[in-house]
C-alpha cells in the first residue's frame, strides 16, 4: 500500500510539472527504481502511465492549442515518427545509453529558455527594420522541423526533460508567446509518449507492469489537470523562472544522485 501511494504521488507530481515545464520522468523513473523495478520495466511502464497526464494537460491548454492548429499539423508527424524510432531504439539498446548526455541536453535546453527573450526581441526588431528574409525564415523552419524530429526520438527513448528542450528550441526560432509554446510542447510530448506506448505494447508487452501503469496514469492525469490550471495563470516571466528553477533542480538531481 505504501508503494502504491508513493508511486501515485510521484505520478501526480510528474503529470503536473510535465504540463508546466517538463522533466516529470525524473520524478517517476527514479521512484520506480527505488522500489526495485528493473530499468527497462520502469522506463516502459512509466512512459505508458504518463500519457494520461499529457492528454489532460493538453485539454487544459486547448484554447492555446486551437490557436496553433496549423503549426501542430506540421510538427505532429515528426514527433510521432521520432517517438516510434526512439521506442524501437529502447528495445535494442541498453536503457543507460542516453543517460550520460541527459545533463548536457538539460543545460542546452535551459540556456535556450533563458536566452530566448533576447533572441526574440532582436528578431522582432529586425523584422520591423526590414522586409522579412525568406532565406532566414526557411532556415528557422528547417531547424524547427529537424529539432522536433530529433527530440521525438529522444522522447521515445528516455524523454527526461524533453519538454524543456522543445520549449527552448521553439523559443529560439519562433516569435511566439511562451504560453502558446508551452501548449504546443504538451501536445508534441504527448504524441511522442503515446506512439512510444503503442510500440511498447506491440513489441514489449512482457516488460510492462500494468499495476504501475495504472497508478501512474491516475496520478499523472490528475496532475495534468492541476498543472494546466497553474501553468496558464503564470505570467511569462514567472513561467520562464519556473522552467529554469525546476530544470536546474532536475539537473542537480541527475548529476549528483544518478
- The count of residues in the chain is 258
Q: What is the pLDDT, as a whole number, of residue 212?
A: 96
* 148 contacts 166 by C-beta, under 8 angstroms: yes
d(CA 65, CA 184): 6
The predicted pLDDT at position 219 comes to 96
Q: What is the pLDDT of residue 80?
A: 94
* pLDDT score of 30: 82
Q: Is 41:207 a contact under the CB 8 Å cutoff?
A: yes
What pLDDT was estimated at residue 159?
72
Pairwise CA distance, residues 50 & 25, whole Å: 8
Q: Cα separation of 159 and 43, whole Å?
A: 10
Distance, in Å, from the CA atom of 55 to the CA atom of 224, rounded to the nearest integer, reads: 8
| Mean pLDDT of each 10-residue bin along the chain, 258 residues long | 91 89 80 86 90 93 89 93 90 69 74 72 59 69 92 83 84 82 92 92 92 96 92 79 76 70
| Residues 6+ positions from 170 with CB-CB distance below 8 Å | 144, 176, 181, 184, 185
Number of folded domains that form the chain: 1
DSSP-derived secondary structure letter, 130: S
- Classify 177 as helix, strand or coil: coil
Q: Which of 138, 79, 91, 102 is nearest to 26 (CA)?
A: 102
**Dihedrals φ, ψ of 174, to 5°?**
-125, 150
Residue 258: the pLDDT is: 60
Q: CA 51 to CA 193: how far, in whole Å?
A: 6
Provide the pLDDT for residue 209. 95
Cell for 49?
502511465
Nine-digit cell at 253?
A: 538531481
CA end-to-end span of the chain:
26
Helix, coil or strand: residue 224: helix
Q: How high is the pLDDT of residue 119?
A: 65
- Give the model's pLDDT for residue 95: 58
Q: Which helix (DSSP H) or strand (DSSP E) does residue 241 occupy?
A: helix 236-257
- The confidence score (pLDDT) of residue 56 equals 94
**Residues of the domain holding 177:** 2-257
Amino acid at each position: 500500500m505504501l508503494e502504491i501511494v508513493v508511486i501515485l504521488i510521484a505520478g501526480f507530481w510528474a503529470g503536473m510539472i510535465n504540463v508546466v515545464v517538463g522533466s516529470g520522468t525524473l520524478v517517476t523513473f527514479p521512484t520506480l527504481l527505488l522500489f526495485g523495478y528493473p530499468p527497462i520495466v520502469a522506463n516502459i511502464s512509466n512512459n505508458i502511465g504518463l500519457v494520461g497526464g499529457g492528454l489532460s494537460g493538453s485539454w487544459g491548454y486547448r484554447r492555446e492549442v486551437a490557436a496553433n492548429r496549423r503549426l501542430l499539423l506540421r510538427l505532429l508527424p515528426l514527433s510521432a515518427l521520432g517517438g516510434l524510432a526512439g521506442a524501437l531504439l529502447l528495445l535494442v539498446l541498453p536503457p543507460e545509453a542516453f543517460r550520460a548526455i541527459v545533463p548536457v541536453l538539460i543545460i542546452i535546453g535551459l540556456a535556450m529558455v533563458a536566452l530566448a527573450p533576447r533572441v526574440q526581441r532582436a528578431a522582432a526588431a529586425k523584422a520591423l527594420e526590414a522586409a522579412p528574409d525568406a532565406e532566414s525564415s526557411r532556415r528557422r523552419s528547417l531547424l524547427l522541423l529537424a529539432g522536433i524530429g530529433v527530440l521525438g526520438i529522444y522522447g521515445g527513448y528516455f524523454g527526461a526533460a524533453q519538454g524543456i528542450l522543445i520549449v527552448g528550441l521553439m523559443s529560439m526560432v519562433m516569435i511566439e508567446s511562451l504560453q502558446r509554446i508551452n501548449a504546443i510542447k504538451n501536445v508534441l510530448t504527448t504524441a511522442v509518449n503515446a506512439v512510444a506506448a503503442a510500440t511498447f505494447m506491440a513489441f514489449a508487452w512482457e516488460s510492462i507492469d500494468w499495476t504501475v501503469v495504472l497508478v501512474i496514469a491516475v496520478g499523472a492525469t490528475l496532475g495534468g489537470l492541476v498543472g494546466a490550471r497553474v501553468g496558464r495563470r503564470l505570467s511569462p516571466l514567472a513561467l520562464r523562472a519556473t522552467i529554469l528553477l525546476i530544470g536546474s533542480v532536475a539537473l542537480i538531481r541527475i548529476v549528483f544522485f544518478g
